[in-house]
Structures are given as structure tokens and as C-alpha cells.
Amino acid sequence: MHIGGSGVGRCQNRSMQTPPSPPSPPPTQVRNPLHGLTLEAIVTKLVAHYGWVGLAERIPVRCFTSDPSIVSSLKFLRKTPWAREKVEGLYLFMLREVRRANTSS
């Protein structure tokens, strides 16, 4: 029969190991115009630029056509990935449109 402390020491060492460091944060998205914007900010800017009617013409979904509001739109867009992608795409298009208008003036 072998009575040694080596088995006990191994268990204690495992519990005393330092936990793995968390993954490093992704590189900053300096070139991503959507980075740091909330969906609410995007929808608000689109409504200010196009209005509800213009928004509904470009993305024909009920939350823009029938009694539209920011709250109802956010609720729908958060549950519907394809519609959110369309809104984000339209926002990027609007940014390009505004930039072109400002440079040509």
C-alpha cells in the first residue's frame, strides 16, 4: 500500500490554477457606420430622412404602412432578421446618398 501525498497535491494544484484569460475583444470597427448605433437610432434617422410614407415605399412592411410608430417598428424589427437587414441596408444607402449630395454641392 502506497501512502503518498502526490495524489492529493495534484487535486489541489488543479483548483489553484489561474482561469484562462477571456478572449481579446474584436478589433474596433472604425469603418463600420453601423457600429455603436442602436436600431432605434437607425429607424429614427430613416424616418427623419424619408418619412413614414417614404420608408414604407422602400420597405413595404406593415409596421411602416399601418399606424407606424418607432416602438411598433422596433418590436417587429427585433423579431424579424430579414426586415432588420433591409432597414440597415437602407440606412447605409441613405448615408451614401447624403454624402454624395454634400460633395456635389
CB burial of 81-102 (b: ≥16 within 10 Å; e: otherwise) equals eebbebbbebbeebeeeeeeee
Residue 11 binned pLDDT confidence (cut-offs 50, 70, 90):
low
Helix axes 81-104, 70-79, angle to 10 degrees: 120
Cell of residue 44, nine digits: 429614427
Q: Domain for residue 5, yes or no?
A: no
Query: Residue 59 maps to which CATH number?
Result: 1.10.720.30
pLDDT in tens, 61-94: 999 999 999 999 999 999 999 999 999 999 999 9
Total count of domains within the chain: 1
Give yes or no for a contact between 86 and 57, defined as CB atoms under 8 angstroms apart.
no
pLDDT at 6 over 60: no
Burial of 49 (0-12, 13-18, 19+ CB in 10 A): middle
Please calculate the CA angle 97-59-55 and round it to the nearest 5 degrees. Answer: 60
Q: Domain for residue 10, yes or no?
A: no
pLDDT in tens, 13-62: 555 666 676 676 566 667 888 888 999 999 999 999 999 999 999 999 99
